[in-house]
Amino acid sequence: MTSVHKIVFTAMAAVALLAIQPALAHHSGAGFGKETKEISGTVKEFQFTNPHSWIQVNVADASGKIVEWSVEWGSPNQLGREGYRPSTFAPGTKVTMKVHPMSNGAPVAGFVAAKMPDGQTIGKWDGE
């Protein structure tokens, strides 16, 4: 790899990182643990609102009881500039998500990535 290629590659990697960072800029992100958990369920609502967006997902727990998860994502402004829309998580969509849950066990989490029914992924699905 030439030095020019290295510079271009580094710049592209930096841009890619910037594009996928969750950008929880409004507050400290307090409460979310470092553990990554996978949840699967049905989108109830996508709150594409400031200061941060929230994806409400109905997930069946181990006993089959439906639990509504709140998954926090970036500001709609930033997400909108990256191509996401209120329709990105349409109500009724089956989705699998990787999230950083609250360390106290509450069904609230920070968004990491999502896999849609057609296999398309959003965010850092293949590793943070």
Partner 1 sequence: MTRTTLALSVALSFMLVPSPSYGQGAAVASFDKLPDWSGVWSMMGGTVFDRATQTGEGGSVTPGVREHPPYNAEYEKRYTAHLALRDADRYPDVQTNCGVPVGYPRILNLPDAYEFVVRPDLFYIIAENGGNTMRVYTDGRKLPAKADTWGTYTGVSVGHWESDTLVWETIGLKGDRDNDSILDRTGLVLSDAVKVTTRMRKINDNTLEAKMVIEDPKAMTKPWNVTKQFRKSKPGLFLYDYGCAENNRNPVDTKTGKTLVLGVDGKPVN
User: Shortest approach of partner 1 to residue 27 CB, angstroms?
Assistant: 4
CB nearer to partner 1: pick between 7 and 25: 25
| Cβ–Cβ under 8 Å, residues 109 and 36 | no
Q: Residue 27: what residue type?
A: H
From residue 61 to residue 90, the character string flagging contacts with partner 1 as x (rule: CB under 8 A) and all else as - is -------x-x-x--xxxx-xx---------
Dist CA 107 CA 87 (whole Å): 23
User: Shortest approach of partner 1 to residue 47 CB, angstroms?
Assistant: 6
Range 15-54, binding partner 1 (CB under 8 A): 23, 25-31, 47, 49-52, 54
Range 89-118, binding partner 1 (CB under 8 A): 102, 104, 106-108
Dist CA 56 CA 39 (whole Å): 12
Helix or strand run (H / E) with residue 111: strand 108-115
Total residues in contact with partner 1, by rule CB under 8 A: 29
| Cβ–Cβ under 8 Å, residues 61 and 47 | no
Dist CA 60 CA 56 (whole Å): 13
Q: What residues make contact with partner 1 under the rule CB under 8 A?
A: 23, 25-31, 47, 49-52, 54, 56, 68, 70, 72, 75-78, 80-81, 102, 104, 106-108
